[in-house]
Structure 1
């Protein structure tokens, strides 16, 4: 009886997950699993482990292996602090508690193809986390549901924090490019090159690649658009709640100075000493070093300058942000206090700004602070990207306004930062929330728009409500709530005013 029971279990498991055929890629052969007709490969190395003497070096070629490498579990998340839920981010939005390691350069593939000749469109996902955290093993990034809709999904890890973004004079000298500080972005370029070289083996089309990301992932998307190293590696881009426009980035000299000061703080006389330190010693000392650098190599200039000089990589763009993603960490001021703050900060522009963000009473003042915080952090960077894109390409713009169902402490976050991601991945089942049927319908609809864009560069089709391309004259966006609707950008007057002020600074 016991043997029969075991046999039944094995038969049930084989019906849902079986090893697919071996696939040969850069480095050797791999195998994965198949679940609901989707072949899944996790933890594929795309570069050598950036440890020891490879710490703070550009990603190096992967070391070949013998036999068949079983790729059925995510690789370690990049080195960072322990994932602890905070603010609107419950555990489902965070990396697994383990493993976390400097040995993190692994990627994952979800594909429903049955033959390499299919050439399905490819989505390459870049996670957020403020360039200080994050990883591809986050539950909401699972690619199976999108792969079910006819695309190949790739996600990967890149180095974050001090491990990914430290510059130093010695590092610049040894690089061969007189540059340092953008190792996390170099990891992203390496992953995209891996896709070009290997994705056909998974039934993907290397000539039809969309890069996409949210928050710091969205910023990464725009930095890749601006990087000459990423030329020819993608033709479409999705930037969700993140753009590198008007983001403060240190110049190389400034970043090198920060790195040298850190080395002195750690008692390291040279780079050899720094590379001997433990991961924990580095992590504990990193402070605020976690931003991409204008290094003259990966990023020759800021994005605004790159677009002005017509040196960006051409793409069709889909971008937008959420209604309530104001990352407001301070204390709210009352109406008088907010008015005084605006007058002190904006001088001659204060009265106009108070017309756009009224604060006639304390309730209005609180909402004005939330709206202004959102527009400064997300609206203006995204809006500036859209305006630059329109000079030479097409842009589709959205606003996610749907209040994400929640209980307890999460009720207050509404259409918050990252709230749209489970919908665009059609992954509501990965998040513990009181979802209604309307949520599942919205997730199916949003993911259909995203998949259409990934396939063709146009989100429309499949009898979806028409999503017009954005123009300065019409300024039409798609608003995603229970019933998605195309309408004019509601904050255009605010954003025009803020952008004009920032351009004068």
Structure 2
């Protein structure tokens, strides 16, 4: 019933959009018709940026759009990429999730919010890449709504891309039929196609095609890391925002970035699970059947084309695309509530994972007693999967002579019912988008002040590559020596990274 209620609300919002004043903009492929909100923001939803990746186009690079005549009505979100139906869990209420329908392979659409559809406006552009572990997600998540940021003077774009096995299946047959002799990174190729569309068309929506910031969270942040490292994305953006996710050390199953040959074997195993013996037979299966057979993560792969080599090597050799970087992570990525354990159990698990180096880790994440062990366990897991990745990227980027701004989000999000997860994974997004209005929570004045400040930092960065602005606490650039970050808590301020020593221990043990 909860899911159907969300669908009804979604359909009602579509009716409201249809009743609003129209906004028509010309693209390279034809006219698109959006609507204008009461706050004078022009909104275009479900704008196609590539041909539908269906039929013979399944597991191929995105194909070019075919131009259309007349006006294409773009007032509602396009379908989520093919995936299992989203369902609330733990702290992730419906505000954090895409609608349960529609879900389709025909998913290559983007959305635009702008306060001026004039070609001469030349506003900074934010292109948002959603998270979802590369297994799900979508741009229609309520907290990704771009209106509040557009009110502050930037153009906001959010995109859908292929996920799961449809976005990241590698197989020897797919590699053989590809002009580039590679396979496995279709989701990243979708993102690049969307960025090319933005580069070519965003000026008509008031954006500056030479002032584009790519941004994402979780798998979206890992995607940003991949795009910055890909030669195919050269020249498509100038800045990057990476929230809780990158691909620099082991410890996270999503960031293995294995070789194409390894993934081709996994692809062969997947065909067996689907009881087919060829890609032709797999393309003939209904998408729903294919999704039901997915039992593993499908994620970016080192294919020699989109990603020529491992990302740490690309960055170390300064072969990545030049950008200004804003990056960080949350205090309790896994939530404050972790499965209960004892001090002895924690020590045993660390010893199993780190073996002869376990004493170093136990020293860095030393619980005082059984009551403290849950916090330290959660902190270690958070750092392994997320914090260490963004910390490493910031250090390498800074050492390469590029400008970095780093943050830590430590503001507890208000609980729903009796659950308290603190500053958990994704909790920063509604603050960065200034979208607390979508939550029925007991927000306090300091929460709204945080959202106003954090979104202003993000907007300033999109505009000019520097998050600082009038009436905001000074955010110092990060470097690998002083390690100054912006701490977002009850009173945001610049501080020296408090747990750099523990992160350095992990990096020494887990770097590639």
What's the TM-score once normalised by structure 1's chain length? Answer: 0.94
1:201 is paired with a residue of what secondary structure? helix
Distance 1:435 1:345 in 2: 40
Segments of 5+ residues of structure 1 without an aligned counterpart are 1-12
Equivalence for 1:492: 500
Q: 2:45 aligns with which of 42, 47, 53?
A: 42
Range with bigger deviation, 355-364 or 53-62: 355-364
Equivalence for 1:191: 194
Residue 355 of structure 1: how far off its partner (Å): 2.1
Q: 1:393 aligns with which of 402, 415, 439?
A: 402
| Alpha-carbon spacing, 1:473–1:87, altered in 2? closer, same or farther (3 Å) | same
> After the TM superposition, which residues 258-277 of structure 1 pair with which residues of structure 2 at under 5 Å, given as runs?
258-277=266-285
1:456 aligns with 2:459: no
Quick check: 1:140–1:422 contact (8 Å CA) kept in 2?
Answer: yes
Distance 1:41 1:181 in 2: 31
Residue 245 of structure 1: how far off its partner (Å): 1.5
Quick check: 1:327–1:373 contact (8 Å CA) kept in 2?
Answer: no
> After the TM superposition, which residues 100-139 of structure 1 pair with which residues of structure 2 at under 5 Å, given as runs?
100-139=103-142
Residue 262 of structure 1: how far off its partner (Å): 1.5
Distance 2:223 2:351 in 1: 35
Larger radius of gyration: 1
| Alpha-carbon spacing, 1:433–1:329, altered in 2? closer, same or farther (3 Å) | closer
Residue 68 of structure 1: how far off its partner (Å): 0.6
| Alpha-carbon spacing, 1:486–1:37, altered in 2? closer, same or farther (3 Å) | same
Distance 2:98 2:341 in 1: 35
Residue 431 of structure 1: how far off its partner (Å): 2.1
Residue 434 of structure 1: how far off its partner (Å): 1.5
Distance 1:267 1:339 in 2: 43
> After the TM superposition, which residues 1-40 of structure 1 pair with which residues of structure 2 at under 5 Å, given as runs?
17-20=20-23, 22-35=24-37, 36-40=39-43
> After the TM superposition, which residues 351-430 of structure 1 pair with which residues of structure 2 at under 5 Å, given as runs?
351-390=359-398, 391-410=400-419, 412-430=420-438
1:257 is paired with a residue of what secondary structure? helix
Distance 1:209 1:339 in 2: 46
2:213 is paired with a residue of what secondary structure? strand
> After the TM superposition, which residues 275-294 of structure 1 pair with which residues of structure 2 at under 5 Å, given as runs?
275-294=283-302
Segments of 5+ residues of structure 2 without an aligned counterpart are 1-15, 250-254
Distance 2:314 2:336 in 1: 30
Quick check: 2:134–2:163 contact (8 Å CA) kept in 1?
Answer: yes
Q: 2:143 aligns with which of 140, 145, 148?
A: 140
Distance 2:43 2:173 in 1: 41
Distance 1:202 1:106 in 2: 16
Residue 328 of structure 1: how far off its partner (Å): 9.2
Equivalence for 2:8: none
Distance 1:276 1:482 in 2: 54
Equivalence for 1:200: 203
2:295 is paired with a residue of what secondary structure? coil
2:124 is paired with a residue of what secondary structure? strand
Distance 1:267 1:344 in 2: 37
Q: 1:83 aligns with which of 86, 91, 108?
A: 86
| Alpha-carbon spacing, 1:367–1:55, altered in 2? closer, same or farther (3 Å) | same
| Alpha-carbon spacing, 1:212–1:306, altered in 2? closer, same or farther (3 Å) | same
1:320 aligns with 2:323: no
Equivalence for 1:10: none
Quick check: 2:334–2:381 contact (8 Å CA) kept in 1?
Answer: yes
- Cα RMSD over matched residues? 1.7
Residue 482 of structure 1: how far off its partner (Å): 2.4
> What number of residue pairs does the alignment pair up?
490
1:29 is paired with a residue of what secondary structure? strand
Range with bigger deviation, 108-117 or 360-369: 360-369
Equivalence for 2:9: none
Equivalence for 1:475: 483
- Residue by residue, what CA displacement relative to the aligned partner does 1:35-54 show, whole Å, maximum 9, x if unpaired? 11110000000000001110
Distance 2:261 2:416 in 1: 48
Quick check: 1:127–1:213 contact (8 Å CA) kept in 2?
Answer: yes
Residue 263 of structure 1: how far off its partner (Å): 1.4
Residue 367 of structure 1: how far off its partner (Å): 1.7
